[in-house]
Amino acid sequence: MTNPTEPTGYRAIKAEVLTRMRNGVWSPGMSLPGEVDLAEEFATTRTTVNRALRELAEEGYLERKRKAGTKVLKMPRRQARFAIPQIQQEIEDTGADYRYARVSRTEEDAPGWLSSKLSLPQTARVIHVRAMHYANGQPHQFEDRWIVTASVPEAAAETFVDQGPSAWLVDTVPLTTAEISFSATRVTSEVAEFLEVAPGDPAFLFERTTWLDADAVTYVRLYHREGYRMTTRY
C-alpha cells in the first residue's frame, strides 16, 4: 500500500490497521509491531504512526500501554462520536431559510450554580447570551449560553447581534473537550414564549459544556420544540 517516494498519511495507516484486524492478520489480543517497525513498513515517520494508533485507541479498537506496546482489544469499545452541525447548517440542510435573532446579552458575575458546575472562582465573570434560531420563520431553537470571560477575553467586545455565539466560538476558540447531555424536559413560561408553545409543553433539551485544555469556556442549554430529531452515526 505504500509508495516509497511519498510518506503514508495517518488516515491511510488507520485504514490499513483496521483492514488487517478484520482480516485476522492482527487478531484480538495480539500485539502490533512497534512504531519504529511500522514507520519503516509504511515509509513514514514514527509521529505519523503514533497518531494513527492513538486515534484507533481512542476509538476503542486498540489498547496502548507504556512499555507493553499496542494490542488489539478482544472486545472493541466503540465510542459514539457526535458530529454536531452548526444550527444554521442544520436548518439550511433541510431546505429551510435560516434566521438568527439575539434576545439579550449581559456581562455579569457567574451565578453560584454555574461556578459550581464549571469549577470557576468566586470572582468569575461571564457573558450571558440568549438567542433564537428560526427555520422558515418558525421557532427552531432557543439558546441560553454562558461564556467564561477569563477563558475568552475577546467575547467582552462581541455584541452577538449579527452572529450567534456558537458560530463565533467555533471561529475563535480551539475547543479541546466537550461534555454533552440530552434530555426530555417541560418548558418554563419564559422558554415557552420564545418557542411559541404552551408552558409545560414537552421539549428536547441539549446541554453542552466545552473546555480549552483545563479552562471551562462555555455552557449552553439548547431547547427545541416537541418533534425535534437528531441523528448520528458511529
**Which residue range is the domain that position 103 belongs to?**
87-225
Q: Dihedral sign, CA of 69, 75, 77, 80?
A: positive
Average pLDDT over the chain reads 89
Residue labelled with grid coordinates 502490533 = 32
24: domain CATH number is: 1.10.10.10
pLDDT at residue 232 above 80?
A: no
Q: Has residue 2 been placed in a domain?
A: no
CA distance 26 to 165: 46
The verdict on residue 112 lying in a domain is yes
Same domain, yes or no: 60 and 100: no
Say if residue 33 is in the same domain as residue 94.
no
Q: What are 171-190's pLDDT values in tens digits?
A: 888 777 888 999 999 999 99
Q: Is 160 left (phi over 0), alpha (psi -120 to 50) or beta?
A: left
Cβ-in-10-Å burial (0-12, 13-18, 19+) of 117 comes to middle
What is the C-alpha to C-alpha distance for residues 6 and 12, in angstroms, rounded to an integer? 12
Q: Model pTM?
A: 0.68
Domain count, the chain: 2
Q: What is the DSSP string of 49-92?
A: HHHHHHHHHHTTSEEEETTTEEEE-SS-----------HHHHHH
Q: String of b and e for 71-80 (b: at least 16 CB within 10 Å)?
A: bbeeeeeeee
Confidence band of 65 (pLDDT split at 50, 70, 90): confident
Task: Copy the grid coordinates of residue 178.
Answer: 466537550
Span 125-155, pLDDT tens digits: 999 999 999 999 999 999 999 999 999 999 9
Residue 109 confidence (pLDDT) above 70: yes
